[in-house]
Structure 1
Amino acid sequence: MMSGLIHHIEFNVSNLSHSIHFWGWFLEKLGYEPFQEWTEGKSYRLGDTYIVFVQTREKYLNHPYHRCGTGLNHLAFHADSRQEVDEITNELIKRRVKILYMDKHPFAGGDDYYAVYFEDPDRMKIELVAPPLK
């Protein structure tokens, strides 16, 4: 059944090459593959879902995004395990990506919610969540 599943998500980004550098490794680590590429954009696909990044047109670049303002707050992805969350966290640290709520990491969402929260180059919050322990 496909009804209700996400078809695709599209982001306008302030710097396409920075966003592709940031998102590409992460999405590929989660199993996404490069899908489409053109001068102003690139997409990655996993199954029937794809994520698109498009260079923001110049006239809109002076309208910065912030997750606490109007618009999309964050994206949350499933991880296969706590180990995957830890591996991604270590890679984020090596890449000098801002990790949010580090003082409570990896339980910033609660004692039974194992996740890493971080920001992309445009300050979009991203979450990678491990499955609950059984």
Structure 2
Amino acid sequence: MPRAVHHLDLWVDDVDRAEGEWGWLLGACGWQREEGLRSWAHPDGTYVFMEHSPDQHGTHDRLRPGVNHLALTVDTRAELDRVRAESTEHGWHELYAHRYPHAGGEQHVALYVESSEGFEVEIVVTA
């Protein structure tokens, strides 16, 4: 099956900090860093590219019109628990911790985290 999304461009304010945060999270979800680039590729070919553009203005606000969050996948609950346990030391803040792992509903197993710049990522168990 061909990939549904070709790529995503993330415009961030602090590229070095975001590279550490996102690089760790994408790697934990099975994405591979592309050599010499601020880019990570999923095994299906989808990639995420990160940059600070001179065209951007203001700060990211996921509650304004636009993309609210990105959802990634892991294969098992054990992987999700590991990401949860390690996320804080890599700059991520857990959202809805009191409802983990069912903040999205009883049949939905996921972790919700937010980066230091306010980007929300939902990590969903696919199994």
Q: TM-score w.r.t. structure 1 length?
A: 0.84
For structure 2, the residue ranges without an aligned partner over 5 or more in a row are none
Mapped to 1, the partners of 2:25 and 2:90 lie a distance apart of 11
Q: Is it true that 1:43 corresponds to 2:39 in the alignment?
A: yes
In structure 1, the partner of 2:56 is: 60
In structure 1, the partner of 2:30 is: 31
Residue deviations 1:65-123 (CA, integer Å, cap 9, x gap): 11110111101111101111100000013335211011211111111111110112221
In structure 2, the partner of 1:22 is: 21
Aligned pairs, number: 126
Cα displacement (A) at 1:60:
3.2
**1:85 match: secondary structure:** helix
Tell me how large the CA RMSD over aligned residues is: 1.8
Q: TM-score w.r.t. structure 2 length?
A: 0.88
**2:24 match: secondary structure:** helix
Mapped to 2, the partners of 1:27 and 1:16 lie a distance apart of 15
In structure 1, the partner of 2:95 is: 100
Question: What is the identity, as a one-letter code, of the residue corresponding to 1:34?
Answer: R
Indicate which of 60, 70, 79 corresponds to 1:75.
Answer: 70
Mapped to 2, the partners of 1:94 and 1:123 lie a distance apart of 16
Larger radius of gyration: 1
Cα displacement (A) at 1:36:
5.2
Question: What is the identity, as a one-letter code, of the residue corresponding to 1:119?
Answer: E
Mapped to 2, the partners of 1:21 and 1:94 lie a distance apart of 11
Mapped to 1, the partners of 2:7 and 2:62 lie a distance apart of 20
